[in-house]
């Protein structure tokens, strides 16, 4: 029987493109690697581009393929590499696509650059701009299509379902021509579409005009990863015609030594009293013997607990205070600073915000409503009214009656409560330049960043962690090297240089001291790392710290142990992960925790899935795909725990999917 690679080669030789569709655990990436190697064997000069969703995936493909003719990169990096040389066209595109940008803003000496932030007037574009500009240049300048077709013989897209519709349009509207020798291949699975990508592609929608090539679908149905019970569950979850079968190869992970297919363990747990939690599940007989601390030969933990929200992971993994700094601040970021920024934009007030403190700006705005009033007096009015009305909102409404419109520049009720509870912190913000406060961006990506990539060039744009967090990670990294006695790597990373024999002893003493400080405050560890010469604070870190005093004050007073815990989480050294963060991974045992709460940020709500609330397509489809991905990570045992209230509809659906005998109430005493 012809392999998938044989079918792909035959399809391309017939002049067509291909779409390889395979369910979880089918080995799509293995087929991609095998195809690249086959092409290299038959035509060593062939140029191959492979584009994927993350730098981690690009790194893996590069390492496994080991091909000098392969260029693997993220979608955005691939597009940018092919348009960045056309600076004049880029400037023109930015002007035409953005009504608030004029020609005088982007003169010929302004270089268009791709970074993780946006500043169009300075020529700095970000992820979404890259796609828009690429589409613009392809449409305005057909020559670009010819340039790329001459540059590459093959363009392969890994995890195509997470690619945007705009990128698919670029590939098949501009590069799909019989006059180009270029072949395009898509690898993926529509059921694993968990981002805002194209999802499913109907091959017959790719036009078949005289100048076009066809897109032929090739299917992989064998599953090499999951035992039979989980394959059966996965097939019930799929909403298409693809139904998987267990692998027939003896060396596959889901095949026993005698050639039989592993059955696997499948369990759905709930608590009728709603009193049981994740810790109870971990202690139950279904999970108590799982190994959370050791790792396989690929560095993956044997067991993993998959949650929806990063906040719960921060709590469980031990970096909750840091997480709250970056996600729950009511002053900077999306807090009070943004409220004032939005007011200035709406009212078109002309203040020199580049050279004015936050307090002076607030005083100026307050005096617009009464010349005798300043900001602190306005806050005192709220305090006085709060004593009369007992609630903050009623107090603010009362001040609003005295000075109509002033509520637009006053903090909201929740902001006011936060400010009063954090007076010292707010005073730091008041003393800072307003422009500096505007440049403090707080969100989970600034703390957690993206998955680690070995490609240092790609990290410039795609690791979004703050400069200070990166510096703190370097400190934790040398601590880890020292504790693991990885001295060669330690010597590469520390600034302290070994020139004489006595320097080794000194370095040992310094590292012992640093390791003993991990339960102290972050500021103490930073000061020692710098003053000891182990890791000097460079100009970038120093500039970051001086311009973001507010953020530094918050981080300084967190225990350094939270950096250790965050570092371990990022490196995959904890049992916890988000469900969307393990795509492409596999573990012996998997605990998937679900509940009925909505998570709007990623359009997930398990209640809609288990109760068949299909009217909410956005939530239903995304949740179904995410659940499919999470469940199919398991190679031996899968436990799904429905946390909180579990309705009869939920139980009915659970029994349909898992089987009556596998749906178990943790309150029945048999745990």
What's the per-residue H, E or C state across 438-482? HCCCCCHHHHHCCCCCCCHHHHHHHCCCCHHHHHHHHHHHHHHHH
Q: What is the mean pLDDT of residues 469-495?
A: 95
Q: What is the mean pLDDT of residues 98-102?
A: 85
- Residue 132 reports pLDDT greater than 90: yes
Please tell me the total count of domains within the chain. 4
Residue that terminates a domain, selected from 196, 220, 244: 220
- Residue 233 reports pLDDT greater than 90: yes
Please count the other Cβ atoms lying within 10 Å of the Cβ belonging to residue 608.
23
Q: What is the mean pLDDT of residues 538-549?
A: 92
Distance (Å, whole) CA 40 – CA 47: 9
Check which CATH number belongs to the domain holding 56 and give it.
Answer: 3.40.50.300
**Residue 542 host element (H or E):** helix 539-547
- Residue 670 reports pLDDT greater than 60: no
Extended beta strands in 147-239, E state: 154-158, 183-188, 215-220, 222-223
Residue 69 · residue 45 · CB < 8 Å: yes
Query: What pLDDT digit, counting tens, does each position of 16-34 carry?
Result: 999 999 999 999 999 999 9
Q: pLDDT at position 671, please?
A: 47
Beta bridge partners of 307: 578
Give 3-state DSSP helix, strand, coil % of the chain, rounded to 5: 50, 15, 35
Query: What pLDDT digit, counting tens, does each position of 401-454 carry?
Result: 889 999 999 999 999 999 999 999 999 999 999 999 998 988 888 998 865 444
Residue 638 · residue 264 · CB < 8 Å: yes
Q: What is the mean pLDDT of residues 356-370?
A: 93
DSSP string of 330-351, one letter each residue: SSSTTSHHHHHHHHHHHHT---
384 and 435 in one domain? yes
Distance (Å, whole) CA 605 – CA 621: 10
Q: What is the mean pLDDT of residues 142-146?
A: 92
327-344: b (≥16 Cβ within 10 Å) or e: bebbbbbebbbebbeeeb
Distance (Å, whole) CA 358 – CA 337: 9
**Residue 577 host element (H or E):** strand 576-578
147 and 42 in one domain? yes
Residue position matching structure tokens 């971990």: 282
55 and 172 in one domain? yes
C-alpha dihedral sign at 348, 351, 352, 355 = negative
Distance (Å, whole) CA 247 – CA 27: 10
Dihedrals φ, ψ of 72, to 5°? -105, 135
186 and 266 in one domain? no
Distance (Å, whole) CA 557 – CA 322: 10
Residue 335 · residue 329 · CB < 8 Å: yes
Contacts of residue 83, defined as CB under 8 A and 6 or more positions apart, other chains included, come to 89, 90, 130, 133, 134, 137, 144
Q: What is the mean pLDDT of residues 223-229?
A: 96
Distance (Å, whole) CA 48 – CA 155: 6
Distance (Å, whole) CA 110 – CA 598: 44
Residue 11 · residue 18 · CB < 8 Å: yes
- Residue 503 reports pLDDT greater than 90: no
Q: pLDDT at position 455, please?
A: 41
451 and 426 in one domain? no
Structure tokens given for 71: 């260029």
Q: pLDDT at position 296, please?
A: 75
651 and 594 in one domain? yes
Distance (Å, whole) CA 508 – CA 491: 11
Instruction: Characterize the bridge pairing of strands 245-246 and 604-605.
Output: unpaired
Residue 324 lies in a domain: no
Cα angle: 447, vertex 451, 454; to 5 degrees: 120
H helices present in 212-274, as ranges: 228-237
Structure tokens given for 280: 């109870």
Residue 387 · residue 399 · CB < 8 Å: no
List, as own/partner pairs, every contact residues 618-627 make where C-beta atoms lie below 8 angstroms and the sequence separation is at least 24, other chains included.
Answer: 622/194, 624/191, 624/237, 624/239, 625/191, 625/192, 625/193, 625/194, 626/194, 626/579, 626/580, 626/602, 627/237, 627/579, 627/592, 627/594
Residue 104 lies in a domain: no
Residue 162 lies in a domain: yes
Distance (Å, whole) CA 375 – CA 379: 6
**Residue 417 host element (H or E):** helix 413-421
Q: What is the mean pLDDT of residues 187-206?
A: 83
Residue 323 lies in a domain: no
451 and 368 in one domain? no
Instruction: Characterize the bridge pairing of strands 113-114 and 245-246.
Output: unpaired
Residue that terminates a domain, selected from 439, 471, 506: 439
Nearest to 233 by CA among 667, 662, 670, 668: 662
User: How much of the chain exceeds pLDDT 70, in percent?
Assistant: 95
Q: pLDDT at position 207, please?
A: 63
By CB neighbour count within 10 A (0-12 exposed, 13-18 middle, 19+ buried), where does 501 fall? exposed
Residue 511 lies in a domain: yes
DSSP state of 582: G
Residue that terminates a domain, selected from 551, 571, 591: 571
Residue position matching structure tokens 């002007």: 95
Please count the other Cβ atoms lying within 10 Å of the Cβ belonging to residue 74.
22
Query: What pLDDT digit, counting tens, does each position of 278-313 carry?
Result: 999 999 999 999 998 887 776 677 899 999 988 999
235 and 213 in one domain? no
Contacts of residue 285, defined as CB under 8 A and 6 or more positions apart, other chains included, come to 671
Residue 435 · residue 455 · CB < 8 Å: no
Contacts of residue 104, defined as CB under 8 A and 6 or more positions apart, other chains included, come to none
Residue 320 · residue 391 · CB < 8 Å: no
Dihedrals φ, ψ of 119, to 5°? -155, 80
Residue 319 lies in a domain: no
545 and 452 in one domain? yes
Q: What is the mean pLDDT of residues 120-145?
A: 92
Structure tokens given for 457: 């060039």
How does residue 178 score in pLDDT terms, banded at 50, 70 and 90? confident
Residue 499 lies in a domain: yes
Domain that holds residue 611: 228-308+579-665
15 and 58 in one domain? yes
Cα-based torsion angle of the residue sequence 506, 507, 512, 513 in order, rounded to the nearest 10 degrees:
70
Range in 316-330, 390-404, 425-439 the model is least confident about: 390-404
Can you give the C-alpha Rg of the chain in angstroms? 28
Instruction: Give me the chain's average pLDDT, please.
Output: 90
Residue 108 lies in a domain: no
376 and 243 in one domain? no
Q: pLDDT at position 600, please?
A: 84
Check which CATH number belongs to the domain holding 661 and give it.
Answer: 3.40.50
187 and 80 in one domain? yes
Structure tokens given for 19: 């779409």
Q: What is the mean pLDDT of residues 43-52?
A: 94
Q: pLDDT at position 456, please?
A: 37
């Amino acid at each position: 029987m012809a392999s998938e690679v044989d079918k792909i080669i035959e399809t391309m030789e017939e002049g067509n493109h291909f779409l390889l569709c395979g369910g979880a655990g089918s080995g799509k990436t293995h087929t991609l690697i095998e195809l690249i190697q086959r092409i290299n064997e038959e035509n060593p000069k062939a140029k191959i581009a492979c584009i994927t969703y993350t730098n981690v995936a690009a790194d893996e493909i590069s390492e496994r393929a080991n091909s000098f003719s392969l260029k693997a990169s993220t979608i955005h990096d691939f597009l940018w590499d092919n348009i960045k040389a056309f600076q004049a066209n880029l400037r023109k595109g930015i002007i035409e696509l953005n009504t608030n940008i004029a020609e005088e803003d982007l003169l010929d000496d302004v270089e268009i650059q791709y970074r993780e932030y946006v500043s169009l007037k300075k020529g700095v574009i970000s992820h979404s701009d890259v796609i828009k500009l690429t589409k613009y240049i392809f449409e305005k300048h057909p020559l670009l299509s010819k340039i790329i077709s001459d540059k590459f013989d093959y363009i392969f897209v890994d995890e195509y379902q997470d690619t945007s519709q705009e990128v698919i349009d670029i590939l098949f509207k501009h590069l799909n021509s019989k006059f180009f020798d270029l072949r395009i291949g898509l690898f993926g699975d529509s059921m694993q579409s968990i981002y805002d990508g194209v999802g499913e592609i109907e091959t017959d929608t790719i036009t078949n005009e005289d100048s076009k090539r066809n897109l032929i679908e090739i299917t992989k149905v064998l599953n090499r990863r999951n035992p039979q019970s989980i394959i059966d569950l996965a097939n019930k979850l799929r909403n298409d015609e693809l139904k998987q079968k267990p692998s027939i190869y003896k060396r596959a992970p889901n095949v026993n030594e005698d050639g039989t297919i592993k059955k696997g363990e499948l369990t759905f747990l709930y608590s009728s009293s709603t009193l049981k939690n994740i810790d109870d599940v971990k202690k139950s007989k279904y999970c108590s013997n799982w190994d959370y601390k050791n790792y396989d030969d690929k560095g993956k933990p044997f067991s993993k607990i998959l949650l929806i929200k990063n906040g719960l992971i921060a709590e469980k993994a031990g970096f909750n205070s840091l997480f709250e700094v970056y996600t729950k601040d009511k002053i900077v970021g999306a807090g009070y600073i943004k409220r004032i920024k939005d007011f200035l934009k709406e009212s078109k007030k002309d203040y020199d915000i580049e050279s004015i403190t936050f307090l002076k700006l607030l005083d100026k705005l307050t005096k617009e409503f009464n010349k005798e009033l300043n900001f602190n007096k306005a806050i005192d009015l709220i305090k006085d009214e709060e004593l009369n009305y007992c609630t903050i909102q009623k107090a603010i409404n009362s001040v609003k009656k005295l000075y109509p419109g002033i509520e637009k520049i006053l903090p909201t009720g929740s902001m006011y409560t936060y400010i009063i509870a954090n007076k010292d912190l707010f005073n730091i913000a008041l003393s800072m330049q307003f422009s500096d406060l505007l440049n403090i961006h707080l969100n989970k990506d600034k703390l957690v960043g993206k998955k680690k990539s070995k490609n240092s060039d790609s990290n410039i744009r795609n690791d979004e962690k703050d400069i200070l967090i990166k510096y703190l990670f370097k400190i934790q990294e040398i601590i880890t090297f020292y504790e693991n006695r990885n001295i060669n790597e330690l010597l590469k990373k520390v600034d302290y240089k070994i020139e004489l024999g006595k320097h080794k002893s000194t370095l040992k003493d310094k590292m012992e001291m640093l390791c003993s400080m991990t339960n102290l405050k972050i500021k103490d560890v930073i000061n020692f790392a710098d003053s000891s010469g182990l890791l000097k604070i460079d100009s970038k870190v120093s500039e970051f710290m001086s311009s973001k005093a507010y953020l530094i004050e918050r981080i300084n007073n967190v225990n350094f142990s939270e950096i250790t815990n965050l570092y371990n989480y990022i490196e995959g050294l904890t049992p916890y992960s988000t469900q969307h963060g393990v795509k492409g991974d596999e573990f012996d045992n998997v605990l998937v925790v679900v509940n009925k709460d909505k998570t709007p940020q990623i359009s997930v709500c398990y209640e809609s899935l288990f109760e068949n609330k299909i009217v909410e397509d956005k939530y239903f489809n995304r949740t179904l795909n995410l659940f499919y991905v999470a469940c199919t990570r398991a190679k031996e045992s899968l436990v799904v725990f429905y946390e909180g209230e579990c309705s009869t509809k939920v139980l009915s659906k659970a029994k349909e999917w898992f089987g009556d005998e596998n749906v178990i109430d943790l309150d029945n005493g048999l745990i």
